Every structure is written in structure tokens, then in C-alpha cells.
Structure 1
């Protein structure tokens, strides 16, 4: 898979290093050649100095054969123009643009360019860490009926199985993060202290689910 990353700031350099470490062919574009220092000496991908919406620069980065394109510079206009050129002139199917202005992000989403609205995303991440578990889900499906909640294993469920938790709470445990690694949530998996549970549940059941999680399935 060949991925072009436009912008070599903190986000772009981190993204490029991660892609390269996973074995993907990666090219990074930035108008400032000094920015490529952020990639470190072990980066094995291509670096191209120039404007990310210049077609010749994009060709040198291999955009004409790219499987994906990420526009993550610090400028909304540059990101959107680059994303549109990649999508419309180079026919890259998987294009993502980083946008600070949430209103503009919605407009470009409707034009078919997936966006990450930085400020609302960051605010949402902080909000979900400030509020009690279950107040804000990690994800909702477009219909608003299903949600994904991420919670630390309640004390009352430590030492009990995933299948028992699912049966009592009426949820599906998608996976468990244990010691920083993802673990598939088989029914016989025993919940341990420090586990981070990712749960699918119905929106209408959220209050009851979190009550069961808190009290271990006992009547309250």
C-alpha cells in the first residue's frame, strides 16, 4: 500500500513513521525541507519538498499510484485543496483531510472528502475523560441507536467472565485492552484489574447497562 502524507508537522511525521513501521510505502510532502527532520533517521520513505497541491510535487510523491492520501498540514485551505486534487485529478480513493474549522469540515464531508475536525475531536476526547463513565460514548452509529462505550473494568466484575458480564448487562464486549495490548473478548476470558473494556450497547439501554456494570449484576 502506498500512502502520501501532505504535511510533516507533529501529526504528519507521526503518521508517516507509523505507516512506514507497518511496512507501507510512504511519501511525505512539506514546503519546508527542514520539517523532514521530524521523521528521524530510521524513516525509509520518500520525502518531497514543495506545495502539497502542486500537481508536479504530487506526482513526485507517487500520488498517481497512491492507495491513500492524508492532508494534515497546519492550514485548512492547503489541506482541502490538496485533498481535492488527490481525489479529483489523481483518483485516489481513500483521502482524508485535517480541518480546524468544524463548519467547513461538515461541508467537505458532504462533498465526499472525509475530514478530521481537530478542535471538536480534541474537545470530545477531553470531555469523555472528564465526565463519569458512560456519560459520553466513544462512538455512535448514524441511526443513534447503537453506541460503543470504553470503560475500565468495574471492581464488581473483576474475576468474572466476559460471557457473564454480557449476559447480565445485555452488551457485547468487542475487545479488551490489557497492559496496552488488545485482546479478543472470548466468553471465557476473565476480567482483570486494569482491563479497559470496549462495549457495544443500545443507546436506550445505556443507563441500565452502566448500573449493572457498577453493581455487578445485583439488584439495585
Structure 2
């Protein structure tokens, strides 16, 4: 995968180096060229000075071949604007923006742009959104036989009941993370764009369930 990151503060630098260590190519954008020092001498990805919603800057960072985009600069407006430009003009589906104002996060979720608002788990949640397949279990039992997995769900499932997702997986979905808050779904809870679902399953079924939810309903 090629992933473009706007913002090379501590979060952006940690994301970039973490993704590169996982074998992905990375392009990093920042207005301050001094910020790229945080990447270290071993970083092999692209570094582009400029504004993240400037098309020339985005293209220099490889947005036309990008599989994902993360906006993690220090400005909410810049992050949202960049995310919308990437989503709407370059048709990159896997886009996430960091938002400092928790109260505004839900508004931006309604625009179809998943957001991460809590600083404490920003890097972990960004990585899980950018690299949904093969993500590490949230919890596993001492034997390794059973686990709780955060599973990426294709947008084709939006509007379906969580109970339908659970039935399709033949596995319980004990809770959902929505706009930074955990909810315990009931039979009428609807899966919304940007939701993160957690599936309890046996380890041997992880690949099967990720494959199921990586596609729209009826395409497996």
C-alpha cells in the first residue's frame, strides 16, 4: 500500500515510520521542512513541503496511487479540508482525519470522513483504520484460541443492522466504537459509516471474517 500523511508532528512521524516498518510506502506532507527531522535518517519515503489540500503537493506525495490518506496536522480545518479534497477529487476511500475538537468530530463523521479525536489512542486507531486487514487482536485468551478483533467493514454494509452483521458472521459483535465512544448494540442498532466493530471469534476464523466484511453484502 501507498499511504499519504499530512502533518509531520509526533503523531504523523510515528504513523509514517510505523507504516514503513510494516512494508508500506509513505508520502509525508508538512509546511515546515524542519518537521521531517522527526522521521529519522532511516526513513525512505517521500517528504513534500507544502499544504495538504494543495493538489500539486498531494500529487508530489503520490496521492494518485495512494490507497489511504491520513490528515494529522495541528489544525482541524486543514485536516478536514485536505481529507475532503482527497476523498472527492482523488477518490481515495480510506481517509481519516484527526480532530482536536471532540464536539466537531460527529459533524465531520456525517460528511463521510471518519475522525479520531482522542489523543491517547490516536496512533493506534489511525493504524487500525489505515491497515484494517490483519490487525492485531484487541484481546485474546491465554491459549490464543479465542480473540476479540476490531474488523474493517465495507461501506456496503452501511445502513444494515448490527444484528445482521453478526448473523452473517455467525459470531457475536459485543460492542461498536462510534465517534470515539463505545456502544453495546441491540437488535435495532444500525451500522453507520465510520463505526468500528468488534467481533468475538475463534482465531482460526479471523481471515474468514475479515474477508466477509471487506466486501459488500452478497459479494463473498
Partner of 2:147: 174
In structure 1, stretches of 5+ residues that fail to align are 123-147, 164-172, 176-199, 205-220
With over 3 angstroms needed to count, the CA separation of the structure-2 counterparts of 1:149 and 1:201, relative to structure 1, is: farther
How far apart in 2 are the matches of 1:27 and 1:107? Answer: 28
CA contact (8 A) 1:102 1:119 kept: no
SS at match of 1:23: coil
What is the aligned length? 141
In structure 2, stretches of 5+ residues that fail to align are 123-136, 149-172, 176-183, 186-220
TM-score by length of 2: 0.57
Partner of 2:113: 113
Partner of 1:187: none
CA contact (8 A) 1:102 1:120 kept: no
Partner of 1:32: 32
| Structure 1 runs, 4 residues or longer, greater than 3 Å off | 119-122, 148-151, 200-204
Partner of 1:7: 7
SS at match of 1:26: strand
Q: Where do residues 191-202 of structure 1 align in structure 2 (5 Å cutoff)?
A: none
Q: Highest CA radius of gyration, 1 or 2?
A: 1
How far apart in 2 are the matches of 1:25 and 1:149? Answer: 26
Give CA deviations for 1:71-106 in whole Å, capped at 9, x if unaligned.
Answer: 001110110011000100111110000001112110
Aligned alpha-carbon RMSD (Å): 3.0
